[in-house]
Amino acid sequence: MEDLYIKDEEDEPFKAEEIRMWSIKTISKMMIFGVPRIIFLIITYIIVLTIGLFFTKKNEKFQNIVMTCLARIKLWIFGYWKIHMSKESKQNLKNSDAQIIIANHSSYMDTCVMGSLFPTGKFIASEFISKIPLLKNLGKTKCIYLTSEFSGNLTDIIQKELNRGSRIVFFSEGVCSRPDLLLKLRSGAFVPNLKILPVHINYENSKFWVNGEQDMLSHIINHISSRRNKLEVKVLPEYIPSEEEKSNIELFKENFRKYYAKGTGIKLSKKDYKDHPYFKLKK
């Protein structure tokens, strides 16, 4: 059997090169592409979020349209004019009715990519998103927040959404890391024991962002100043758990990881989000 695991000495999912902030080339590209895009992004947020706050409070369908438009506009502003997918991936996406979608997490742009591909999907979102005034109301239709501020057991909330027919997007690695390695996954997406649609997002030319290891402002400036960026999305056929996997969540998770790695051509890391150096510092 093919060895899907990365060698211990090469198992560095959180390693990334620091973005060079200032150079003549960067400054010139920033003035030509970056500044106009930033201005347009700010205007877009003001207009779209104003519409969302005042006209879509009770209309979930319209809120989904607003958030999807915002995601697509943001991708365009950051230079992603197109999401590249093979015919096979497009067919897998079209044919799937899976309610659970698992994607790797390698950039702050991931939610925009997945929001474009799954307009009605809901996201498992971090606590800080729920505290941003402009996004909090709109986020209620798109997010299930990881916070004690919202009463009830998270598993029960997820199951309630599944019973309603919702599709839920999980970034099960739990932290942004390199796209060529897959961390050990958190359990939330596997608890319902449903089939899973695996999605892999790959940012070319090292445009991925590793949480905590790269300065976000520098990365955004470099990102938004590039004339055009390219990303590729690969969608695998649905993974259907066996009865044995349904009764053993750890087996389910690891078998799914192997399926994901084999189908995408990446390697499996023996680390998880708890091994992230910034997570350790917060303990």
Strand pairing report for 196-203 and 122-125: unpaired
Which range marks the domain in which residue 44 is found?
Answer: 8-282
pTM for this model (two decimals)? 0.88
pLDDT confidence of residue 266:
96
Long-range Cβ pairs for the range 47-50 (8 Å, 24+)? 48/73, 49/134, 49/135, 49/138
pLDDT confidence of residue 133:
54
Q: Is residue 226 part of a domain?
A: yes
* Cα(173)–Cα(278) distance, integer angstroms: 15
Average pLDDT of the chain to the nearest whole number: 85
Q: Is residue 12 part of a domain?
A: yes
* Section 211-232 average pLDDT: 84
The string of pLDDT tens digits covering residues 2-18 is 589 999 989 999 988 77
Residue 140 pLDDT more than 70? no
* Cα(6)–Cα(250) distance, integer angstroms: 20
Confidence at 137, pLDDT banded by 50, 70, 90: low
> In which residue are the tokens 């359990």 written?
187
Higher-confidence residue of 83 and 132: namely 83
* Cα(105)–Cα(208) distance, integer angstroms: 9
pLDDT confidence of residue 1:
44
* Cα(97)–Cα(192) distance, integer angstroms: 15
Q: Is residue 155 part of a domain?
A: yes
> In which residue are the tokens 């290891």 written?
213
Phi, psi of 131 (to 5 degrees): -105, 0
Q: Is residue 2 part of a domain?
A: no
Distances (CA, A) of 230 to 56, 84, 202, 203, 220: 33, 8, 9, 6, 15
Q: Is residue 1 part of a domain?
A: no
User: Burial, 2: exposed, middle or buried (Cβ in 10 Å; 0-12, 13-18, 19+)?
Assistant: exposed
CA-nearest of 103, 101, 90 to 203 is: 103
* Section 17-22 average pLDDT: 68
How many separate domains does the chain show? 1
Which of 88-92, 208-212, 225-229 has the largest mean confidence?
A: 88-92
Q: Is residue 3 part of a domain?
A: no
Q: Is residue 20 part of a domain?
A: yes
Q: Is residue 270 part of a domain?
A: yes
> In which residue are the tokens 């093919």 written?
2
Within 13 Å, how many C-alpha atoms sit on residue 262's CB side? Answer: 11
